Amino acid sequence: MTIAWALTSGASKTKLTDLSNQDLNIILNIRLPRICSAIIAGAALSVAGLFFQAAFRNPIAEPGLMGVSAAAGLFQTLFALVFPTFFIGKTLFATFGAIVAFLILIQFQKLLDPFRLIIVGVALNAVFTGISQILGANNSSSLATSTWTSALILCIIGIIGLIVALILAEWANYLKVSDKQLSSLGMSPKMIRLVLLLIGVILAGVSTASVGVISFIGIIIPQVGRQLLGHDYQKLVTFSVLAGSWFLLLIDTIGRTIAAPNEIAAGVLLAIVGGPAMIGILLSLNRKGKRHA
Q: Residue type for 123, please?
A: A
Q: Is residue 11 part of a domain?
A: no
Domain extent for 67 = 21-288
Q: Is residue 12 part of a domain?
A: no
In this structure, are residues 240 and 226 in contact, taking their beta carbons and an 8 Å threshold?
Answer: no
Domain count, the chain: 1
In this structure, are residues 44 and 158 in contact, taking their beta carbons and an 8 Å threshold?
Answer: yes
pLDDT, position 288: 64
Q: Is residue 232 part of a domain?
A: yes
CA-only gyration radius of the chain, Å: 19
In this structure, are residues 233 and 167 in contact, taking their beta carbons and an 8 Å threshold?
Answer: no
CATH code, domain with 184 = 1.10.3470.10
In this structure, are residues 121 and 67 in contact, taking their beta carbons and an 8 Å threshold?
Answer: yes
Q: Is residue 51 part of a domain?
A: yes
Q: Is residue 8 part of a domain?
A: no
**Each residue of 113-140: pLDDT tens digit?**
667 888 888 899 999 989 988 876 555 6
Give the mean pLDDT of the chain: 87
**Each residue of 12-71: pLDDT tens digit?**
677 766 777 877 888 888 899 999 999 999 999 999 999 999 998 888 889 998 999 999
Q: Is residue 182 part of a domain?
A: yes
Q: Distance between alpha carbon 162 and the CA centroid of its chain, in Å?
A: 12
Q: Is residue 77 part of a domain?
A: yes
Total residue count of the chain as it appears in this document: 293
Bond prior to 261 in cis (omega within 30° of 0): yes
